[in-house]
């Protein structure tokens, strides 16, 4: 498929163009439909959605309870349940308990909440190693956890998706929900980073 008869590789960019042309000529896809999908994931669906969920949970104790009890229902309230995010379980990171999420079999990820996965999440090294040596991997990625912090790794092997509710950093007590949103990173919502007050 990727190799020609002479063993020479045809670049993926060119093969992509070929597939699009062939399907378009046969009337099977519309290039505008491709544009629409690309725009959706470049601009509309991204980690900002997840950040809004987290900021609400940080500022609204009742919402926080609902989110941890029934993540799917609480997230549906904000409109972020959909393709690749049908059922969500939310777990809370604290000073003594740390959760981190992976998909070892592909790169399943809560698209509606966090957008498409970043390259580190899709990296074979992350997929292979986080389920075997999470403390070491997190340290490589810049997150040092104290020895007494209990780590739980969640391998998303089914359509259940995991979202980490990160710890609200000290020094943000006076910030409003809207002011908190930009502090919240996708890395923290997957569990490979903590959130810092700016």
Residues 49 and 114 sit within 8 Å (Cβ to Cβ): yes
Q: Is 107 a catalytic residue?
A: yes
Q: Is 139 a catalytic residue?
A: no
Nearer to another protein, 56 or 184 (CB): 184
Sign (positive/negative) of CA torsion 195, 101, 93, 114?
positive
Question: C-alpha dihedral over 86, 185, 49, 53, to 10 degrees?
Answer: 80
Beta bridge partners, 162, equal 89
Q: Pick the catalytic residue: 106, 157, 158, 176?
A: 106
Name which position in 4, 7, 62, 173 contacts another protein (CB under 8 A).
Answer: 4
Name which position in 12, 95, 146, 170 contacts another protein (CB under 8 A).
Answer: 12
What part of residues 159-178 is at the interface with another protein (CB under 8 A)?
159-160
Residues 109 and 121 sit within 8 Å (Cβ to Cβ): yes
Q: Pick the catalytic residue: 6, 97, 107, 157?
A: 107
* Residues 154, 190: Cα–Cα separation, whole Å: 10
* Residues 123, 29: Cα–Cα separation, whole Å: 30
What part of residues 101-160 is at the interface with another protein (CB under 8 A)?
104-107, 115-116, 118-120, 122-137, 140-142, 150-160
Buried b (16+ CB within 10 A) or exposed e, 125-144: ebbebbeeebbebbeeeebe
Q: Shortest distance, CB of residue 59 to another protein, whole angstroms?
A: 25
* Residues 75, 151: Cα–Cα separation, whole Å: 25
Show the site string, 32-51: x = touches another protein by CB under 8 A, - = not. Answer: -xx--xx--xx---x-----
Name which position in 14, 95, 146, 170 contacts another protein (CB under 8 A).
Answer: 14
Nearer to another protein, 130 or 180 (CB): 130
Query: Is residue 73 part of the contact set for another protein (CB under 8 A)?
Result: no
Query: Is residue 96 part of the contact set for another protein (CB under 8 A)?
Result: no
Q: Is 106 a catalytic residue?
A: yes
State the catalytic residues. Answer: 103, 106-108
């Amino acid at each position: 498929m990727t190799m020609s008869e002479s063993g020479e590789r045809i670049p993926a960019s060119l093969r992509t163009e070929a597939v699009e042309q062939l399907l378009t000529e046969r009337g099977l896809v519309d290039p505008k439909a491709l544009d629409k999908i690309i725009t959706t994931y470049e601009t509309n669906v991204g980690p900002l959605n997840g950040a809004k969920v987290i900021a609400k949970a940080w500022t609204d104790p009742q919402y926080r309870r609902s989110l941890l009890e029934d993540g799917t229902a609480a997230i549906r309230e904000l409109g972020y349940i959909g393709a690749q995010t049908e059922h969500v379980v939310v777990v809370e990171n604290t000073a003594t308990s740390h959760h981190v999420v992976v998909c070892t079999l592909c790169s399943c990820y809560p698209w509606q909440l966090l957008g498409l996965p970043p390259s580190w999440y899709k990296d074979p090294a992350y997929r292979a190693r986080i389920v075997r040596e999470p403390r070491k991997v997190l340290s490589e990625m810049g997150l040092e956890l104290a020895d007494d912090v209990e780590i739980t790794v969640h391998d998303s092997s089914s359509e259940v998706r995991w979202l980490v509710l990160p710890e609200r950093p000290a020094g943000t007590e006076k910030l409003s929900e809207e002011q908190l949103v930009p502090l919240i990173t996708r890395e923290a919502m997957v569990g490979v980073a903590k959130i810092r007050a700016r």
